Amino acid sequence: MKIEAKNLSKRFNREWIFKNLNYQFTETFYAITGPNGSGKSTLLQTLWGQMLPSAGEVIYTQNEKVIPAEDAFRHVAIATPYLELIDEFTLTEMVDFHFRFKKPRQNKTTKELLELFELSHARDKAIANFSSGMRQRLKLGLAFYAQAEFLFLDEPTTNLDKKAIGWYQQHLSSISDSLVLIASNQEHEYPATATKLDILTYK
């Protein structure tokens, strides 16, 4: 698995957020670092295809075969604090809906997934009534257990308490078959072994 950025650049009006990024992501874990407002989220959104680059390109490769740009979304899982959930759904309905589009890892059932998310007690609760921490744990759980080769996490422990941060770290450490990119300026959000990419290098 590989993500290759070729001369990747993004600007808003006249301000370059990052410029001439040439990089091959091939390891299991990467930490995209930099202070608040430096463009970490913009870089991730450009890499996963939500945002078009101002210049350059992103190439996904699996088993030495290039994945067509229009199919990249099928291979990607995402968790961010700003990712929307469907408030009208119950938790069970939200999980069932999500996994209509992504296969669950290890063919986990909805019941098993809720247990892994440690949210079984809220199975019939409407998402609208979830706390910010429960919402974030759900987003992370959906991303962790989607069968995807590329996993993007943006400030993943936002709104999580100490216990939930431990839950996050435990599940993150179990990933071995995906390429994981984490945008963060908090060291507890990525493994110590992660390869670091400082976005300020490409200003």
Identify the helix (H) or strand (E) that includes residue 44.
helix 40-48
Residue 199 pLDDT more than 90? Answer: yes
| Cα radius of gyration (the chain) | 17
* Structural domain span for residue 46: 2-202
Does residue 22 contact residue 201 with C-beta atoms inside 8 Å?
no
Q: What is the CATH number of the domain that holds 23?
A: 3.40.50.300
**Which residues fall within 8 angstroms of residue 25, CB to CB, at 6 or more apart?**
2, 3, 4, 5, 179, 181
pLDDT on residue 187? 95
In tens, the pLDDT along 55-84 reads 999 999 998 899 988 898 899 999 999 999
pLDDT on residue 98? 96
Tokens of 37: 């407002």
Q: What is the DSSP letter of 104?
A: B
How many structural domains does the chain have?
1
Identify the helix (H) or strand (E) that includes residue 66.
strand 65-67
**Which pTM value belongs to this model?**
0.95
